[in-house]
Amino acid sequence: MITVLYISSQTAWRGGELQLVYLLDNVCSNPEFQTLVLCPTNSELSKYCNINNISCITFKNCLSSRLKTALSLGKICKVAGVSLIHAQDSHSLGMVAVANMLSINKLPVVAQRRVVFKIKNNFFSKYKYNSKLVKKVICDSNKVKYMVLQILSYPDKACTIYAGIDVEKFFNTHKNNKLHCLLKVDDSVRLVGNVAAITPEKGYFTFVDVASVITQKYDDVIFVIIGDGKDKTAIEKYIAEKNLVGKVLLTGFRDDVHELLPDLDVLLVTSIEEGLGMNILEAFAARTPVTATNAGGIPEIVIDEKTGLLANVGDADKLAEDVVNLLENNTLRDEMVANAAEVVKQHSKNFTVEAVINVYKEILQ
């Protein structure tokens, strides 16, 4: 029996947590594996584990508590009979690195990297990724892998396993005007939106700028932000400054995205940095056309004029032009939706999970 310890330092529910849940659900059902999760107290992941009877140990999400947990890692692994550790983010890998440095942990480690942020060029960061116990660094896209390779002493450690989605869940949805009802707007109104946390890297100021350009010319288009995050107040203030109150609407976090996406006429992704873009894959499956910035790993799935339209980061005028093109050119829209629906079939969560399990087996053999 192989027991995998998954460590996460995140408290919120974002794309990385959904990817981990896909992995947990499949690994838990595999008779060869057992799982144990180590995550912050009262995090969304800990709540999920409790509801779904997944073994979970929690810690307070502060530096001192993470350090204390790192010092207890050897005992935790010994009691649970852990075979392998899968660190889900930089902070959790940092906890493992402390245990590695002090010889508290002697188990093989898989590091997960989902973001394209540059890794700090200091001793501890280099050690985290280059420790002999870190056998693989799984990257969500080739762009993420490129960033990881800048710090790796052994390039063969890095591999790309694309993030996956529940393709069937989104394929089986259809336009039902649920989002129109939620926003209390007429069914004839065209909706342009994004589904992402309201954080700096998502570029929502550009999103509002695009809305400003388009709503000056079109009375029947409303922009919608589906998500929540630390930049919410700043974005609401910017919406007011641009006189777009009532034209750019926020729904907050939603757990029914698969039912809302088909109501969007265009998914507008204005990211400054992006590992890959699960919201884009979900839009592909929901048959919602996409225009996006060429940030991070996005061009690996949004092929310009084939599966979507691309613009440079921050180019609100080009993004606005692309939105209008998708709203008005039905032929272009239909071609891109069809192409994207074929591409997304290769990004099923089942492919992702199978590839990760193969990494586990390769390491343990």
**Which of the residue ranges 30-34, 206-210, 337-341, 353-357 would you say has the lowest mean pLDDT?**
30-34
Identical fold for domains 2-164+348-364 and 167-346, yes or no, is yes
Calculate mean pLDDT across residues 49-54: 92
Question: What tens digit of pLDDT does each residue of 242-290 get?
Answer: 999 999 999 999 989 999 999 999 999 999 999 999 999 999 999 999 9
Calculate mean pLDDT across residues 231-238: 97
**Residue 105 Cα distances to 72, 75, 122, angstroms:** 9, 9, 22
Is 102 strand, coil or helix? coil
Confirm if 91 and 9 have CB atoms less than 8 A apart: yes
Tell me, yes or no, if the pTM score tops 0.85. Answer: yes
Predicted local distance difference test score (pLDDT) of residue 170:
87
Question: What tens digit of pLDDT does each residue of 198-219 get?
Answer: 999 999 999 999 999 999 999 9
Q: Which CATH number fits domain 167-346: 3.40.50.2300, 3.30.200.20, 3.40.50.2000, 3.40.50.920?
A: 3.40.50.2000
8-state DSSP, 308: B
Tokens 């989002």 sit on residue: 179
Domain ranges of the chain: 2-164+348-364, 167-346
Question: What tens digit of pLDDT does each residue of 99-152 get?
Answer: 999 999 899 999 999 999 889 989 999 999 999 999 999 999 999 999 999 999
Chain mean pLDDT for the chain = 94
Region of 201 please: left (phi>0), alpha (psi -120 to 50) or beta.
Answer: alpha
Q: How far apart are CA 142 and CA 157, in angstroms?
A: 14
Calculate mean pLDDT across residues 323-327: 97
CATH topology of domain 2-164+348-364: Rossmann fold (3.40.50)
Tell me the torsion sign for CA atoms 260, 330, 185, 302.
Answer: positive
Instruction: Quickly count: other Cβ atoms within 10 Å of residue 121's Cβ.
Output: 9
